[in-house]
Structure 1
Amino acid sequence: MKLICYLSNGYPTIEKSVEMARIYTEAGCDVIEVDFPSRNPYLEGEFIAGRMKSALENCSDYSKYMEGIVRIKNENPGTPLLVLAYDNTVEEIGEEDFVKFCLENDLTDMIYVGDNMGLQQRLIENGLKISCYVQFHMPENEVTAARNSNGFVYLQAKPMTNNIDPNYPTLKDCINHLKSIGIDRKIYVGVGIRDAEDIRMSKDSGADGVFVGSTILKLHDNVEMLTEMIKTLKSAT
């Protein structure tokens, strides 16, 4: 099972993000989720939204973030990247320029955040693979969207509000159902993953990968502790 670690691109600087990507990789991270900081990260919590805001205060030029992502990719050739971008960010960069950047650098796996379904469809038509987020209670519209998409499924690993479909009370039940309806793409789980026990639960449930975010991000000021945490989480995969 893959360990996927989130990297706040540009926080505190783009150069520091490039350095942190190397630390992630050397510690055992399998895949790096790297973002384009959004000027309106409306689905993020205060912690990550604050990091995006700080990044953009330091550098508001998205071409510099592109350069940083290319450096991360080139300096960590064995570590795939997943790009996260909000619809408002793609629109600001320019749809054509964004697609060109992704295709030229073989960054076709993407976490797209936003309500602009027309833009999402055009990204798919232009060769990008867009993930679909499915909440733990398995709402029918999200399951249908996941079945019809072309990217990996991002499945909520834990119910945050005790909102559980009695037909799928466990993560394993959720994963088995997604597979039973014909989804044969990767199913990665995240949200609420904090420690090795969560990692083992995800693995036992049949997940192909697991996202870890704030648990890692909050250790950025202590590289030694961060490295040990990644190693511990990786050992549980």
Structure 2
Amino acid sequence: MSVWSGRFEGRTAVVTGGASGLGLQTAKRIVAEGGQVVLWDLDPAKLAAAKAEVGASGVIALDVSDQAAVQAAAEESAQLLDGRIDILVASAGITGATGPVHEYPIDSWQRVIDINLNGVFYCCRAIVPYMIANSYGRIVNVASVAGKEGNPNASAYSASKAGVIGLTKSLGKELATKGIIANAVTPATFESPILDQLPKSQVDYMRGKIPMGRLGEVYETAAMVCFMASEECSFTTASTFDTSGGRTTF
């Protein structure tokens, strides 16, 4: 893992889904490059371990689909981060059930949309005012190549990630003159604990769609996220950055 010394010096960040996978790796890099991070995640036990591993300024256990909890967590995070939140990495997400639309479980559909789309909206809504107050911000919403192409038997996940892309494009345009950059990252499948939620047949299908012939590694997408979260990303907003091994064509 390459580290850019001091790239996040003096910057503060909230990373959702920060106890594992992409969120954890991104948080580790931000701290290693000089920043302060508060981790949000659903799992208190994993958060305790992640705090020590990352060197986080704080951890908050919450469900991002709970709007009131998100609002309270934003306020607590700002207190932990010297009154500022410069960076939001919205990485919390689930895959949901696997199956065709006409058989898809209603409860799984609702849960996926609640976490993957509504949760991102709630996080952006709660944290953007802190960025506006300081005329600076970087927002990275984790979407997916599935949000561009649609994966069969993953309708809820694909729809939720398409929604994240649309939300991010709207948000980036709203904030374009306020010193705040908002983009989405759209990875193809990469090695992550979230794959444990999927049957092997679904993972094999997604691997087969990648021209490089392999799944991504979490550090590869974390590197892209950290560029998007840094001051270097200064003239691209309301857009998507792909880490897809050649899968994405638009």
* Pairwise TM-score range, normalised by the shorter structure: 0.3 to 0.5
- Bigger RCO of structures 1 and 2 (CA < 8 A, at least 6 apart): 1
Give the TM-score of the pair, scaled to structure 2: 0.33
Give the TM-score of the pair, scaled to structure 1: 0.34
